[in-house]
Structure 1
Amino acid sequence: MPTFTYTARTSNGGLKSATVDAPSRDDAVAQLRRQRLSIIKVDESKATPQTTGGSITMRDIVIFTRQFSTMINAGLPLVQALDILARQSENKALTAVVRQVVFDVESGNTVADAMRKHPKAFSDLYTNMVAAGEAGGILDTILNRLAVFMEKNDALLRKVKGAMIYPTVILCVAALCVVILLWKVIPVFAGMFGSVGVELPLPTQIVIGLSGLLNRYWWAFIGGMAGLAFFIKQYYGTAPGRLVIDRVLLKVPVLGDVLRKSAVSRFTRTLGTLISSGVSILDGLEITARTSGNRVVQDAIMDSRASIAGGDTIAGPLQKSEVFPPMVISMIAVGEQTGGLDEMLTKIADFYDDEVDAAVSALLSLLEPIMIVFLGVVVGGMIVAMYLPIFDMVNTVR
């Protein structure tokens, strides 16, 4: 969006020079007139436009939301609060987005409608809750709930991702060790054994054969791995593929338990936050399904939405999915019957946050010995295989 430099006279007669972002000069003039400024000069800035590249992190949005909530609660007008946030944000991408939101709000749009134009910064869940807050006159309360929700959701995601870092690093180290051994070390042993002419044991022959294949056809190995990764990515991008892979992940021992519990926690906290903020249950279920992160869970939630639209309950379709534990189904059913579904969902989410902690700890405790044994078997097995002929030669000399 172009930036215009202007000079104008304020209502008390003072001169003011600053910049304003607008799609065109006419829009800039209109924006300044809405601020009751007497325009003297408006020119498009010739300076190099400020970069809007970079990503907007969850932490950036949480800080923005908390500060926005505080300003609204203190009685500042919406436009003034947003303008202050745009000027003090350290993230250039977020600054550009908030300035565009300010322009749209000054043009007559609601805050929620202005934010919907920037889906990379503000999710459907965010904009729907803001819309509910504007309609109910409790925008500051809704923004505070949003900040709390995003902080807890971000903490949950970090726990699950953290659980995957350790095994990923170990597997990468193991793969690197195997490649170096097969590429550089094993050929030295193979040449030595070839010059002696000793008969090699089967394990040694297998290792030397793998080394020869890697050195001769390394390009095929790299191409095969890249092709496999591309195929999996493309397959996961399709609806059937994502359903199959997500279903398999949920059935993996220990890891599946972590993913299931994190999915339950995210679903219940998201839906509970939306319902307590005044979003309709049908809209809430649709938004929650899109943010579930697992196709099996998403399908179960959408089945529940169809069930509610047909006059049924949420609990029935969730039970059929076999993803949600019986306790969760029972508590949701009780919440529906008593009219306290939002409170019940929040209680479930709090409980499962602790369950995710326990499941992640169990996963890490199990993975550590498994990874050590795996490294020992793979790397140690290759080394032993190369020393077997040496042992045979020593025995022959004796």
Structure 2
Amino acid sequence: MAVFEYRVRDRAGKMMSSQLEADTLAQVRDNLRSKGLLIVEIKPARTGLSGDIKIPFLSDRPPGLKQVALFSKQMATLINAGVPLVQSLAIMQRQLESKSFQSILKIVRTDVESGTPLSESITKHPKVFNRLYINLVRAGETSGTLDAIMGRISDFQEKELALRGKIKSALTYPVIVLVFALGVTYFLLTTIVPQFAGILIQLGGDLPPLTKGLIAVSNFLQHQTLIMVAIVAVSVFSYRRYYATVKGRYQIDNFKLRIPILGTLLKRSAIASFARTFGLLISSGVNIIESLEITKGTADNAVIEEAIENARNVVMVGEQMSGSLANSKIFPPMVVSMVAIGEETGALDNMLGKVADFYEREVDEAVEGLTAAIEPVMIVFLGLIVGLIVAGMFLPMFAVIGQLSK
């Protein structure tokens, strides 16, 4: 099928433009006339970089959370302004820069034009619209508040992006310093140390254990690089295989939560995400059991997922979830108390929103604490490595010079 662009006027004289797939231009004309639309222009859609040509590794890459959040915000604005859903999707399809997202929206728009609900149309694209998104859109369609729901989704995704950005910023600095330290160490051991080793061997005499160890490491890095690469590759592969198992994922995720400072940051981030997601689902009209199931799928931590699953099982038998959260030892007493109050007063979504706001501020403090703690540690680490290499090379030379001066 070919893609045709068209401009038409409705019975009220309002100009509309969009695209339609058909075998021939005549089919497009007949389709538009059957809807009572006055045709202004029909032409084949443009091809090339602005058309349907796909660029490997660029056009096929699914849109990220930032792009989906922007789409949700603009869709909320269009729907709230009274623009029909199909036309809103057509406008967004033309406006988005991502070619892969444009292709997805074209399929969604075609489905909606044929009478398929939006929530059902986006289920075909799980890499872009997750289960949380789909259920919220379905709730908005059912209640007739799709514009408000899209606005909530946009706000939620923007806060999720901010939360991820804070964690990313906290981990970026130590990673950069670590990579720099490893690079400097590799350079010193493969370039500087061999030169000093040749001089020391010519001078003769017994070398201290530190110097012998540095020379051995230097020789290994120079001549056994493939073995080192193989060791790293096997380690990464083994880690991924073990993490893919239920037991391995639980143990590794549990270990992450117990790491000093970093574990606190991850736990606070998980609690903030849990509260924000769960509260959004409940306030949007999704029942509590399904809300817990969806929230569990967005936790990204096996320990948190287990705690949420236990809470869901408790709710299914008619009991309050706050007791189950308390038994998990993951959620602090303040969170448990807020959830308990929300369950008793019927304002659980409001309480969860307050919990999310509080722990997002806690994440800010944890990021500052992690950055302040890691900076001196990384400086000492880098200084220790360079100091060991310098000591291992120069101490034997000082000893030889001392013997020659006697």
TM score, norm. by length of structure 1: 0.91
Residue of structure 2 in register with 1:352 after alignment: 359
- Work out whether 1:266 is the aligned partner of 2:273: yes
Residue of structure 1 in register with 2:227 after alignment: 220
Return the offset for 1:158. Answer: 0.7
Residue of structure 1 in register with 2:309 after alignment: 302
- Work out whether 1:50 is the aligned partner of 2:49: no
Give me the whole-angstrom Cα distance separating, in 2, the residues matched to 1:331 and 1:237: 35
Give me the whole-angstrom Cα distance separating, in 2, the residues matched to 1:82 and 1:93: 15
Residue of structure 2 in register with 1:397 after alignment: 404
- Work out whether 1:150 is the aligned partner of 2:157: yes
Give me the whole-angstrom Cα distance separating, in 2, the residues matched to 1:8 and 1:346: 45
Residue of structure 2 in register with 1:207 after alignment: 214
Give me the whole-angstrom Cα distance separating, in 2, the residues matched to 1:266 and 1:20: 38
Return the offset for 1:366. Answer: 0.3
Return the offset for 1:22. Answer: 3.8
Return the offset for 1:237. Answer: 2.4
Between the two proteins, the alignment pairs up a number of residues equal to 395
Return the offset for 1:189. Answer: 1.2
Q: 1:117 aligns with which of 106, 121, 124?
A: 124
Gaps of 5+ in 1: none
Residue of structure 2 in register with 1:5 after alignment: 4
- Work out whether 1:196 is the aligned partner of 2:195: no
**Is 2:108–2:118's contact at 8 Å kept on the other side of the alignment?**
yes
- Work out whether 1:245 is the aligned partner of 2:248: no
- 1:326-345 correspondence to structure 2 within 5 Å: 326-345=333-352
Give me the whole-angstrom Cα distance separating, in 1, the residues matched to 2:72 and 2:7: 32
**Is 2:339–2:352's contact at 8 Å kept on the other side of the alignment?**
yes
The C-alpha deviation readout for 1:183-228, integer Å capped at 9, x for no partner, is 1211111111111112111111111111122223211011101111
Distance 1:201 1:20, change over 3 A: same
Mean Cα deviation higher: 231-240 or 17-26 = 17-26
Residue of structure 1 in register with 2:289 after alignment: 282
Quick one: which amino acid aligns to residue 3 of structure 1?
A
Distance 1:9 1:110, change over 3 A: closer
Work out the percentage of aligned pairs sharing the same amino acid: 39
Quick one: which amino acid aligns to residue 307 of structure 1?
V
Give me the whole-angstrom Cα distance separating, in 2, the residues matched to 1:367 and 1:125: 35
Residue of structure 1 in register with 2:373 after alignment: 366
Give me the whole-angstrom Cα distance separating, in 2, the residues matched to 1:19 and 1:320: 55
The CA RMSD over aligned residues, in Å, is: 2.7
Residue of structure 2 in register with 1:160 after alignment: 167
**Is 2:18–2:87's contact at 8 Å kept on the other side of the alignment?**
no
Classify the secondary structure of the residue corresponding to 2:3. Answer: strand
TM score, norm. by length of structure 2: 0.90
- 1:40-79 correspondence to structure 2 within 5 Å: 49-51=52-54, 52-79=59-86
**Is 1:31–1:106's contact at 8 Å kept on the other side of the alignment?**
no
Classify the secondary structure of the residue corresponding to 2:4. Answer: strand
Return the offset for 1:312. Answer: 1.6
**Is 2:136–2:281's contact at 8 Å kept on the other side of the alignment?**
yes
**Is 2:79–2:88's contact at 8 Å kept on the other side of the alignment?**
yes
Mean Cα deviation higher: 20-29 or 166-175 = 20-29
- Work out whether 1:171 is the aligned partner of 2:184: no
Residue of structure 1 in register with 2:319 after alignment: 312
Distance 1:323 1:9, change over 3 A: closer
Q: 1:82 aligns with which of 74, 78, 89?
A: 89
Q: 2:189 aligns with which of 182, 191, 194?
A: 182
Gaps of 5+ in 2: none
The C-alpha deviation readout for 1:14-40, integer Å capped at 9, x for no partner, is 9x998845487799688646644599x
Residue of structure 2 in register with 1:139 after alignment: 146
Return the offset for 1:68. Answer: 1.1
Give me the whole-angstrom Cα distance separating, in 2, the residues matched to 1:47 and 1:17: 21
Classify the secondary structure of the residue corresponding to 1:5. Answer: strand
Give me the whole-angstrom Cα distance separating, in 2, the residues matched to 1:188 and 1:6: 70
The C-alpha deviation readout for 1:324-363, integer Å capped at 9, x for no partner, is 1111011111111111100000000000010000001000
